């Protein structure tokens, strides 16, 4: 297994963890504890602090994404240098798909940095919430990046039925469905 394979695997694991993280964020932004469905969850699971789980999954995903990125220029076959990792617009392979991955990382970092108590306490809730909503855009970017980026960096056409691509597609479908449900909940709450 070469470093590009390891990087791709870490990217897929990060996609799953980020999907779980965003789902937890959606759950936390609702009054889930009053829900009939939450009361059916076994008591031992209800004892977990979902805010802590949400935070831990964010940090774990950040570590995995950083490892995913750092491994790419180590592999000579990737033709990526360190500057192209930070801003891959002039990369040799799939620069537009690579930039989507970079932009999703930057958006994710902004969301994560603004959740730190030192930063969060210096801004209003509305500003913090609006910044936190960038997670939806970041999710869209990392899903598109995961689907269309060639993991071997050989500029091959996308095989949408490849297992790796299917995993990203399933995460995308789950996030779209959850976003629709969350938006419907928001609209009902407004009425």
Overall number of domains in the chain = 1
Concatenate the DSSP letters of all residues of 74-89 into one string: HSGGG---HHHHHSGG
Q: Which residue has the higher pLDDT, 90 or 170?
A: 170
Mean pLDDT taken over the chain: 92
pLDDT of amino acid 176: 96
pLDDT of amino acid 52: 94
pLDDT of amino acid 119: 93
pLDDT of amino acid 93: 87
Could you tell me the residue range of the domain that residue 62 belongs to? 3-190
Nearest to 57 by CA among 28, 18, 114, 29: 18
Query: How far apart (Å, rounded) are the C-alpha atoms in residues 52 and 50?
Result: 5
**Contact assessment for residue 189 and residue 36, using Cβ atoms and an 8 Å cutoff:** no
114-129 residue pLDDT tens = 999 999 999 999 999 9
pLDDT of amino acid 186: 86
Q: Is the pLDDT of residue 35 over 90?
A: no
pLDDT band, very low/low/confident/very high, at 190 (cuts 50, 70, 90): confident
């Amino acid at each position: 297994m070469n470093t590009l394979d390891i990087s791709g695997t870490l990217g897929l694991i990060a996609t799953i963890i980020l999907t779980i993280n965003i789902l937890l964020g959606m759950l936390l932004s609702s009054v889930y504890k009053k829900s009939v469905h939450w009361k059916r969850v076994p008591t031992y699971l209800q004892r977990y602090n979902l805010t802590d789980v949400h935070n831990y999954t964010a940090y774990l995903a950040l570590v995995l994404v950083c490892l995913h990125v750092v491994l790419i220029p180590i592999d000579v076959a990737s033709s990526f240098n360190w500057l192209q990792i930070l801003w891959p617009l002039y990369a040799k392979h799939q620069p537009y798909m690579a930039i989507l991955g970079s932009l999703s990382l930057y958006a994710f970092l902004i969301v994560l940095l603004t959740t730190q108590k030192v930063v969060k306490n210096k801004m209003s809730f509305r500003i913090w919430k609006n910044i936190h909503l960038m997670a939806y855009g970041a999710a869209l970017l990392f899903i598109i990046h995961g689907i269309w980026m060639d993991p071997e960096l050989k500029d091959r056409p996308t095989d949408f039925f490849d297992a790796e691509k299917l995993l990203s597609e399933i995460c995308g479908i789950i996030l779209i469905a959850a976003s629709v449900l969350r938006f419907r909940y928001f609209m009902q709450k407004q009425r």
